[in-house]
Structures are given as C-alpha cells and as structure tokens.
Amino acid sequence: MTSETLWYANRATGAVCLVLFTVVVLLGIAVRLRARLPGLPRFGTVSLHRTLSLSATAFLVLHIAVAVVDGYVNITVADALVPFVSEYQPLWLGLGTVAFDLLLAVLVTSLLRDRLGHRAWRAVHWLAYASWPVALIHGIGIGTDAGTDWMTWLTVACVVTVITAFTVRTAHAVRASRQTPAALLHTEGAH
C-alpha cells in the first residue's frame, strides 16, 4: 500500500469515526432518556448503541493502525497509547490518545459490567462524554481536512447535533429532579 493510499485511508477513517461516535453519543442519550427509535423496541435502541459502539471502535483501531503504519510521519504504537509523548504534533496527537484511552476504559468496563456492578460501570461510562469532545478537538487540530468546507460542515453538524441532544438530556434531568421532590411530598401527604 502506498503512503498516499494510507494518508487517504487515515483521513477517511477519521471522518467516519467522527460520524460513528457522534451517532453513538446520540444513541447513548436516547438510551438514557428511554427513547425508542421508530421501528425498534427500547431494547433495540440499547442493542444498536452497543453494536455501533463496537463498530465505531473498530474504525478507530483502523484509524490508529493506518496512522502507525503510514511512514509519512513517525507515529508509534506508544504514541497511540501514551498521551503527549509523540514527536509529531504532541498536543493534537496526545488529545487523540487521551480520547482513545478514555474510550478504552469505557469499553473494558462495559465488557466487565456484570463483574463491576452498575454503579462503577456507570461512573466510568461518563468518560464517553469526555472522550467525544477531546477526540473532536484532536481532529480539528491535527486533521488535514479540518479547514475544508466539507469537513467544516460535517464537524459543525456533529457538534450541533450533540449539543442539541445533550441540552435535551440536561433539560430532562432538571425536569426529573424538580418533579421528584414534588412527587415525594404528594406521596407523603397521602399517608
């Protein structure tokens, strides 16, 4: 495989990762809100979230592998696992490594969820919310397509979509926290 082919593959897998992980975040929020996707039962949304998470992770591993194999810049396996040690673009590549490491923690704890317990799994799973914007910043900082119109619009669309979903999720949580005390008072008053 030529260096040019690897470069295009790296760019393509990076863009695909952005879209896939955006959808994974949206599905995670939908699962938390107990939302149903049209044509799917609620457990179907959970299953789709898990399956797409694994697919997105596979694309991410491919993205990293292509970057390591491509000889145009010197990125090592250690650079992909240990943040900010790379000689090439240490900040931007390091942010990608941080996002990957956070995602690995989420993945490993998800695979061990039954052994960890729900509370521990959920605490670590919150790292997914941190991983997405860190990965986004990595792509903006190091991506060779970051300044192109198509990538700018793709990035803006992903950001707007995630911010909108997160706003809905936050509003739902605030509404639920306000309703809980009122529901408790109503229940206590009935006794």
**What's the average model confidence in pLDDT over 97-101?**
97
Mean pLDDT of the chain: 90
CA 122 to chain centre: 15
Task: List the one residue out of 26, 24, 30, 32 whose CA is nearest residue 50.
Answer: 24
Q: Which residues contact 9 (CB under 8 A, 6 or more apart)?
A: 1, 62, 66
Where does the pLDDT of residue 183 fall: very low under 50, low under 70, confident under 90, or very high at 90 and above?
low
The DSSP string of 144-186 is TTTTSHHHHHHHHHHHHHHHHHHHHHHHHHHHHHHHHHHHHHH
Is residue 49 within 8 Å of residue 28, measured between CB atoms? yes
Where does the pLDDT of residue 147 fall: very low under 50, low under 70, confident under 90, or very high at 90 and above?
confident
Distance between CA 58 and CA 60 in Å, rounded?
5
Question: Whole-prediction pTM value?
Answer: 0.88
What was the pLDDT predicted at 190? Answer: 47
Number of domains composing the chain = 1
**What's the average model confidence in pLDDT over 24-48?**
89
DSSP letter assigned to residue 107: H
Domain that holds residue 148: 3-190
Helical H segments across the chain, by residue range: 3-32, 42-69, 77-81, 90-111, 113-116, 118-125, 127-142, 149-190
Where does the pLDDT of residue 191 fall: very low under 50, low under 70, confident under 90, or very high at 90 and above?
very low
Is residue 123 within 8 Å of residue 109, measured between CB atoms? no
